[in-house]
Amino acid sequence: MSLKLVLPTDPDIEGWLADKAVEEFREHMAPLKSLLFETAAIKLLAEQWVRNEIVKTFPLDETQAGKVKSLVDSWYAKLSEKGGTDPMPELHRSNKIKSNFVCLEWARSQWFAKVESIYLENRSNLNIFQCSLLRCKNKNLALEIYHQIKAGELTFAGASAQFGHGPEAKNGGRLGSLPLSSLPYGLEKIVVKMSPGDLSMPSRLGSDFALIALESRTDCPLNSNTESRIYQQLLDLWVSSVADKIIAHMIV
């Protein structure tokens, strides 16, 4: 799910970097600079450095520390239930879980006043759509299938299995429940105009002709899960921008 977001101006990136050990980071990376740029690893390292700096400067209270411990315990309990092993050392795993939690709490403290307006602007993209897709190569065939489904002579799932192609055909055309902006193949432009129960007329979809059936649309409320998704994307956008600023000074 990708929201329409504008880079937050607060905290100011230059101001935030002013008291951070940016030069120390650049000096550590200097011997490997060529390799890091060639492999595009420099962006990942810079972003992780920014997140580490957030963790250093955002102390947790007792309640928040307890939540981190619960998250770590829960992660290992689920791993144990599945009988799996963690390729990451326990200390590193705990630190990663803590980092994710702290960064999200930091984002909440920075941008809580923006959440409602971002939600209202992106509400249609946050809503969950359950739909099915049938793709075929022949326009006349697609139109014939459309009329047969409308007449009750074919079910959408049966028609998809018999005439459709693509991975969804094996599943009766079902794409599952997805936010509007996560629908594949540009379907959001069609689905957004449909109501539950609608079957679209054949539409051009790349080299195919497609039918779309919309089963349901669930409005996404502004709850804690939705807020977390918004905070996470704001955080990712801001961290990426800070990393770009750091990297720009390393290019000679």
Return the CATH number at 191.
3.10.50.40
139/164 same-domain check:
yes
214/136 same-domain check:
yes
Position 204 in a domain? yes
From residue 17, give the alpha-carbon distance in Å to each of 14, 77, 116: 5, 38, 28
Q: In tens digits, what is the pLDDT along the chain, a chain of 252 residues?
A: 567 788 888 999 999 998 888 888 888 888 888 888 888 899 999 999 999 999 999 999 999 999 999 999 999 999 889 888 888 888 899 999 999 999 999 999 999 999 999 999 988 788 899 999 999 999 999 999 999 999 999 999 999 999 999 999 999 999 988 888 788 888 988 998 999 999 999 999 989 999 999 999 998 899 998 999 899 999 999 999 999 999 988 875
Position 58 in a domain? yes
Position 3 in a domain? no
State how far the Cα of 249 lies from the Cα of 252, in Å rounded to an integer: 8
How many Cα neighbours within 13 Å face the side chain of 116?
Answer: 1
**Amino acid at site 208:** D
Domain count, the chain: 2
Neighbours of 228 (CB within 10 A): 14
How many Cα neighbours within 13 Å face the side chain of 58?
Answer: 21
Position 5 in a domain? no
The whole-angstrom distance between residue 141's C-alpha and the CA centroid of its chain comes to 36
At 2 the pLDDT is 67
From residue 154, give the alpha-carbon distance in Å to each of 15, 114, 161: 63, 48, 11
Position 79 in a domain? yes
Concatenating the DSSP letter of every residue in 1-28 gives: ---------SS-HHHHHHTS-HHHHHHH
Position 228 in a domain? yes
115/25 same-domain check:
yes
105/133 same-domain check:
no
Position 8 in a domain? no
Give the closest residue to 22 by CA, choosing from 197, 219, 248: 248
Position 28 in a domain? yes
Domain that holds residue 162: 128-218
Structure token digits, residue 166: 């693509």
92/23 same-domain check:
yes
Q: For the chain, where are the alpha helices, taking DSSP H only?
A: 13-18, 22-29, 33-38, 41-56, 62-81, 90-111, 115-126, 139-150, 156-163, 188-191, 224-248
23/114 same-domain check:
yes
Q: Are 172 and 132 in contact (CB under 8 A)?
A: yes
145/204 same-domain check:
yes
At 91 the pLDDT is 87
Torsion angle of the four alpha carbons 142, 143, 146, 150, in this order, in degrees rounded to the nearest 10? -160
18/49 same-domain check:
yes
